Each structure stands twice: as C-alpha cells, then as structure tokens.
C-alpha cells in the first residue's frame, strides 16, 4: 500500500510513513511477518513512528525501541519518536522523570539528529478526549526542549504534541512554546475533521 500511494504521489508534496518497523536488522530474509526499515524505505516512505504507547504496551522495551531507531537511522528514515507518561505516573508527579528515562533508554547520540522528531504523547490523553492543561504542556515542552539541547546538543529540537488533538482544541494547543507541530491520531481518520484542524490552526 505504501508503494502504491508513494508512486501515485511522486510529484506532490505529500510524504508517507510507516507506523512501526521490526526489531530485526535484516534488510530481507527469513523474518516472517516482520517489516524491516529497509523494506519501508524502499516502499517510498520517508518516516516511521517508533516508541508509540501501543507498541510499548505490546512488548517494545526501551532496548527494542533503541534498536529500531538505529535500524531506521541507518536506512535514512526520518524517525518520529513517541514518549509519554501514564495517568498513574502523572498522579505520582513522575512525568518528567519518565520522559527522561524513555529518551535516555532509547535515543543514542550516534544517530543523525537531523532525522529525528520527538513527539510528546501522554498515554492518558490518547483517544480519551482529555488534553493536558496549557500550564502542564508548557512546563513539559520547555523541559524537553532544554533537556534535548543540553544533553544531545540538538540546536533546535523538533517536538510534536499528540493526544486527542481535534478541531476544537487546536487553537489552544497552538500557544504551546517549543511545540513544532502535532501528531494527529483519530481525528485524522476523517478528512473533514483533519481539514478543520488545519483551518482552525490558521484562523
């Protein structure tokens, strides 16, 4: 499917990505059911999402995510690295510590940081309709921006927000400092909703 759409849109500004890759370093070979980084790249995709909470809950450890990031980087895929805390971690005031642990455990200084985009997705907000307060997001994004600059020497970190983004709340989310954009989930499944998000952002 990726190959079909990438070929159909070869002369457009639309770029495609995959939602995951396998943990195997094999470009091709006996890895039944797995899709390697090189397979995604040769399909015409430019991006891959790694570290999503659903993948983590299905067994992706920090080490597995680190290996996937290394494979993606090696094949020159642009990485969207997801991170976020659960509701119980938030209630115990562990949010920033959890984000730091996820970054340290999965992101190595060996990769090309021009090809990585960080995405803050609080697990308790994904698909629930719950959106963190502006103060909470401001604190989180400033922390991430400072941490990535100081510890990974990234001059201008790209950090997205994801978690129940919709046409009604996009104007409020627009005010978050250090936020580079949005990783839209369920609201992107209907073209009308996605278009409304874009319109409301600029109006």
Is 52 labeled as catalytic in the residue annotation? Answer: yes
Tokens representing 193 are 């909703």
* Active-site residue, from 46, 52, 71, 135: 52
- The secondary structure of the chain as a DSSP string is -HHHHHHHTTTSS---EES---S---SSSS-TT---HHHHHHTT--EEEES-HHHHHTT--HHHHHHHHHHHHHTTPEEEEEE---HHHHHTT-HHHHHHHHHHHH--TTS-GGGEEEEE--GGGTTTS----HHHHHHHHHHHHHHHHHHH--SS--EEE-SS--TTTHHHHTT-TT--EE---GGGSSHHHHHHHHHHHH-
* Active-site residue, from 46, 71, 85, 121: 121
What b/e string do you get for 121-144 counting C-beta neighbours within 10 Å, with b at 16 or more? bbbbbbeeeebbeeeebbebbebb
Q: Are 94 and 84 in contact (CB under 8 A)?
A: no
Q: Which residues are catalytic?
A: 52, 121
């Amino acid at each position: 499917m990726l190959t079909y759409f990438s070929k159909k849109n070869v002369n457009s500004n639309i770029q495609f990505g995959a939602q995951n890759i396998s943990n195997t370093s094999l470009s091709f070979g006996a890895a039944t059911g797995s899709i390697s980084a090189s397979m995604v790249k040769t399909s015409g995709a430019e991006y891959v999402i790694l570290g999503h909470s659903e993948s983590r809950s299905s067994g992706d450890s920090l080490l597995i995510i680190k290996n996937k990031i290394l494979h993606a980087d090696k094949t020159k895929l642009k990485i969207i690295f997801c991170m976020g805390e659960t509701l119980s971690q938030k209630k115990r005031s562990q949010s920033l510590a959890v984000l730091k642990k996820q970054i340290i455990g999965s992101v190595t200084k060996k990769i090309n940081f021009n090809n990585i985009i960080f995405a803050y997705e609080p697990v308790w907000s994904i698909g629930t309709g719950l959106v963190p307060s502006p103060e909470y997001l401001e604190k989180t994004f400033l922390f991430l921006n400072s941490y990535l600059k100081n510890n990974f020497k990234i001059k201008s970190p790209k950090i997205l927000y994801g978690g129940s983004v919709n046409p009604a709340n996009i104007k409020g989310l627009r005010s978050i400092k250090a936020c580079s954009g949005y990783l839209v989930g369920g609201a992107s499944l209907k073209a009308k909703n996605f278009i409304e998000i874009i319109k409301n952002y600029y109006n």
